[in-house]
Chain A
């Protein structure tokens, strides 16, 4: 199956992702930030699809957009204060922080230029049909130990979150 209008979709999805990221960090209202983040996560799932990673895209939609963001929205509804929207939104180190982030971006550019020999210019086509099957084989074969550790981590996180959010233990 031949991909259709790849440059258009890439620029559209990339612009959507970056625009939603900018909205996340600039909105006063935390619920608007959460909505913008959901839009960004869905656009990123589209970018994963363009990178021939449909399983990761599906996992992103189910877990990130459908799970983690629901959690964020619940907590925002719990702790939402009218007062916090009228306060100053950016703290005292906003200039220093932005400059530090730009310096970090400069570091990325420097690393890319120096290490350019490691990056192949063109991408080879991967067969699309069996991505889920291959991911499953790798996940339950080579990365089985990491899989079990991840499940243990989730168990610890569940217990920790429940204990911390309880009023009386």
Chain B
């Protein structure tokens, strides 16, 4: 069996990133778009922690900061969603077009 190297983790992280990007670009439900953004952030975290195995603990510190920022961003994003939902009773991101000409 091939020993598990950093490359394996990078491939998993890249696949997660791609799936997150597909989710952000193709889904219409706002909450699922926000969850796809969390997938992207997780992929980045996995990448950072995989490299920190080789090059020191700085990757893990950065990963902790990324998790903190993800929490803040999720809170603010969901607040925006609630504020918008109160105006227009929809979670469809295609209908967020009030400023379109």
Q: Given contacts A25-B27, A56-B49, A68-B70, is CB(A105)–CB(B18) below 8 Å? A: yes
Q: Given contacts A71-B75, A72-B78, is CB(A123)–CB(B26) below 8 Å? A: no
Find out whether the CB atom of A101 lies under 8 angstroms from the CB atom of B14: no
Find out whether the CB atom of A126 lies under 8 angstroms from the CB atom of B27: no
For the complex, give the distance between the alpha carbons of A121 and B4 in Å: 10
CB-CB under 8 A from A78, the residues of chain B are 82, 85
Contact residue among A21, A68, A102 (Cβ-Cβ distance under 8 Å from B71): A68
Find out whether the CB atom of B36 lies under 8 angstroms from the CB atom of A24: yes
CB-CB under 8 A from B36, the residues of chain A are 24-25
Q: Please give the distance in Å from A158's CB to the nearest CB on chain B.
A: 7
Find out whether the CB atom of A91 lies under 8 angstroms from the CB atom of B27: yes
Among residues of A, the one whose C-beta sits closest to the C-beta of B82 is A165
Say yes or no for A98: interface residue by CB 8 A criterion: yes
**Which residues 57-101 of B have a CB within 8 angstroms of A?**
57-58, 60-61, 63-65, 67-76, 78-83, 85-86, 89-94
Find out whether the CB atom of A135 lies under 8 angstroms from the CB atom of B61: yes
For the complex, give the distance between the alpha carbons of A89 and B23 in Å: 11
Q: Is the contact region of chain B dominated by helix, strand, or loop, or is it mixed? A: helix
Q: How large is the interface on A (under 10, 10 to 19, 20 to 34, 35 or more residues)?
A: 35 or more
CB-CB under 8 A from A104, the residues of chain B are 17-18, 21
Find out whether the CB atom of A25 lies under 8 angstroms from the CB atom of B82: no
Q: Sort A-B residue pairs by CB-CB distance and give the 7 closest, nearest first.
A: A97-B25, A157-B72, A25-B23, A164-B79, A161-B79, A94-B26, A21-B19
Chain B positions within 8 Å of A, measured between CB atoms, are: 1-10, 12, 14-23, 25-29, 31-32, 34-36, 38-39, 42, 45-46, 49-50, 52-54, 57-58, 60-61, 63-65, 67-76, 78-83, 85-86, 89-94
Chain A positions within 8 Å of B, measured between CB atoms, are: 6-7, 10, 14, 17-18, 21-22, 24-25, 27, 30, 33-34, 37, 40-41, 44, 47-48, 50-53, 55-56, 59-60, 63-64, 67-68, 71-72, 75-76, 78-79, 81, 84, 87-91, 93-94, 96-98, 100-102, 104-105, 108, 112, 119-124, 126, 131, 134-135, 138-139, 143, 146, 150, 153-154, 156-158, 160-165, 167
